[in-house]
């Protein structure tokens, strides 16, 4: 995320909180009650956002993890492409031996 994106999101949350406050005051709530309800809604939103972040961390569904996985796959693919046919046959034989050991 770029710095300007973080600033824009912060401003949107700030202005959204102000808009909620004004809407609640417009519906007839006094300033203190409207402020309390606005704070409650903002805190609940923050908790909801934080929980999605924690969920992505625990499930390892983050950008860094995906980039690392893609890099590892690209390195393995490049290594396979650089192997000679004899080396590929040897590797395939080793894989078959491992499969046979696992099944028995």
Q: Express each pLDDT in 23-39 by its tens digit.
A: 999 999 999 999 999 99
Global pTM value: 0.58
- Short-list 27, 29, 6, 25, CA closest to 17: 25
**41-60: per-residue pLDDT in tens?**
999 999 999 999 899 888 88
């Amino acid at each position: 995320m770029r710095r300007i994106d973080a600033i824009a999101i912060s401003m949107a949350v700030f202005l959204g909180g102000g808009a909620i406050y004004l809407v609640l005051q417009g519906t007839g709530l006094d300033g203190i009650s409207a402020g309390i309800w606005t704070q409650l809604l903002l805190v609940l939103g923050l908790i909801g956002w934080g929980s999605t972040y924690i969920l992505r961390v625990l499930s390892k569904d983050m950008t860094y993890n995906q980039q690392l996985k893609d890099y590892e796959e690209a390195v393995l693919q490049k290594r396979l492409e650089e192997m000679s046919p004899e080396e590929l046959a040897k590797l395939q034989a080793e894989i078959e031996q491992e499969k046979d050991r696992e099944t028995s």
